[in-house]
């Protein structure tokens, strides 16, 4: 059995009494309430079926192919480098198609970003691609979900190219240095699939109001290095690691009002929805500041009889960097009464801290 436990509906509080003046048990629009998003809410239904051709047979699972080629070379005595190229591609994506609605049940619209100095080029640009809104007559129709493979409609493409370079050196006994970088660029394209199934949601990346169906992440590069040196005779070790990562991908998720959408859509949003959330920034084009971190370790081996004790002091984030890891992605235009807190930090790199440890072998 499958109990439908969630649904949504819009509500227009016309008299500002914070009480919905409608019959909540009526799934259709009435009073201040719009249509319920799923007419089967609170009932037991079976609304999910599987394409039997996807369950058995050869070539029905996800495909993840990878090709790599590399070269390793000694540059000078005790110094070597290796360079590797990777290419990976994916296929056979499972999708969920709601058979109760089709492309003809959606109306298309476009939207223009608000003028705002914080946006690329100051805003005011047309959002590329097509956005969809389901027809009001089909907004509350019970779902009839069908699980199958994307290739039965239009294959989606996801490919990745990566390069890794690493240099290792041992200039003297007890002294080790390594460093290099790796960079990766992933491309996505599911425009044909989106046109065939407008209601399709793909891992949070695609939905009817996300027009970016063909884009790439851009080259995401990480630099890393490590080094350690064991001081002879006194059994002391000094080591450290450093890394530098590209910042978080940024978005500007704007709750576009119905007034900004209706002229292009030719009607109001279904279910009397007051807004539709649209990302105003093409994925892969805007990132936050780089995240840099330096960690150090100091250790000393103490020998007493047959007992060997390794005492260490670790310092993480030595320079106490407060690099931003995640940002608030909800965008509110500066012209609004309250411009909100778009791109304010939600989390930062963990503050500098120390750790003392000891390992006793006997």
Same domain flag for 4 and 105? no
**pTM more than 0.75:** yes
pLDDT, residue 84, reads: 97
Same domain flag for 8 and 125? no
Residue range 254-302, pLDDT digits in tens: 999 999 999 999 999 988 888 999 999 999 999 999 999 999 999 998 8
pLDDT exceeds 60 at position 193: yes
Same domain flag for 21 and 101? no
Same domain flag for 191 and 292? yes
Same domain flag for 10 and 71? no
Q: 204: pLDDT confidence band, cut at 50, 70 and 90?
A: low
Tokens of 245: 């990562």
Same domain flag for 138 and 231? yes
Same domain flag for 269 and 164? yes
Same domain flag for 31 and 130? no
Residue range 67-113, pLDDT digits in tens: 999 999 999 999 999 999 999 999 888 888 888 899 999 999 999 99
C-alpha dihedral, 188 to 190 to 194 to 200, nearest 10°: -70
Total domain count, the chain: 2
Q: Which 3 state secondary structure label does DSSP give 349?
A: coil
Neighbours of 109 (CB within 10 A): 21
**What does the alpha-carbon distance between residue 174 and residue 116 come to, in Å, rounded to a whole number?**
57
Residue range 315-335, pLDDT digits in tens: 999 999 999 999 999 999 877
Q: 181: pLDDT confidence band, cut at 50, 70 and 90?
A: very high
Where in the sequence is the domain holding 306, given as residue range(s)? 48-361
Q: 350: pLDDT confidence band, cut at 50, 70 and 90?
A: very high
Same domain flag for 20 and 154? no
Same domain flag for 138 and 221? yes
State mean pLDDT over 136-154.
Answer: 86
Same domain flag for 29 and 57? no
Same domain flag for 3 and 145? no
**What does the alpha-carbon distance between residue 250 and residue 282 come to, in Å, rounded to a whole number?**
9
Could you list the beta-strand ranges (E) of 232-352. 236-245, 253-257, 275-279, 291-304, 307-316, 324-327, 330-331, 345-348
Please state, rounded to an integer, the average pLDDT across all residues of the chain.
Answer: 89
Sign of torsion over alpha carbons 339, 340, 342, 344: positive
pLDDT, residue 46, reads: 66
């Amino acid at each position: 059995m499958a109990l439908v436990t969630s649904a949504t509906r819009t509500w227009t509080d016309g008299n500002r009494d914070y009480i919905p003046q409608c019959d909540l048990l009526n799934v259709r629009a009435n009073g201040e309430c719009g249509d319920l998003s799923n007419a089967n809410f609170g009932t037991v239904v079976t609304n999910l079926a599987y394409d039997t051709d996807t369950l058995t047979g050869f070539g029905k699972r996800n495909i993840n192919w990878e090709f790599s080629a590399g070269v390793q070379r000694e540059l000078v005595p005790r110094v070597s480098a290796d360079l590797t190229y990777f290419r990976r591609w994916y296929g056979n994506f499972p999708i969920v198609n709601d058979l109760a609605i089709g492309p003809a049940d959606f109306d298309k619209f476009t939207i223009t970003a608000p003028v705002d100095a914080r946006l690329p080029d100051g805003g005011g640009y047309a959002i590329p691609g097509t956005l969809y809104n389901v027809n009001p007559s089909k907004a509350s129709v019970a779902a009839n979900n069908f699980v199958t493979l994307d290739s039965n409609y239009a294959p989606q493409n996801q490919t990745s190219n990566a390069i890794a370079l690493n240099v290792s050196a041992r200039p003297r006994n007890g002294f080790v240095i390594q460093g290099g970088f790796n960079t990766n660029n992933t491309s996505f394209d599911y425009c044909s699939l989106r046109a065939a199934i407008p209601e399709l949601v793909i891992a949070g990346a695609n939905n009817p109001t996300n027009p970016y169906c063909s884009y790439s992440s851009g080259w995401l590069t990480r630099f890393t290095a490590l080094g350690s040196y064991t001081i002879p005779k006194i059994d002391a070790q000094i080591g450290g690691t450093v890394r530098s990562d590209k910042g978080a991908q940024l978005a500007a998720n704007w709750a576009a009002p119905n007034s900004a959408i209706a002229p292009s859509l030719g009607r109001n949003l279904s279910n009397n929805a007051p807004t539709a959330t649209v990302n105003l920034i093409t994925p892969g084009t805007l990132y936050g500041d780089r995240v840099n971190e330096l960690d150090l370790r100091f250790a000393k081996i103490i020998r007493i009889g047959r007992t060997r004790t390794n005492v260490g002091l670790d310092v993480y984030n030595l320079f106490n960097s407060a690099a931003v890891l995640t940002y608030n992605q909800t965008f509110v235009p500066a012209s609004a009464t309250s411009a909100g807190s778009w791109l304010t930090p939600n989390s930062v790199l963990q503050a500098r801290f120390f750790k003392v440890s000891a390992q006793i072998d006997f």
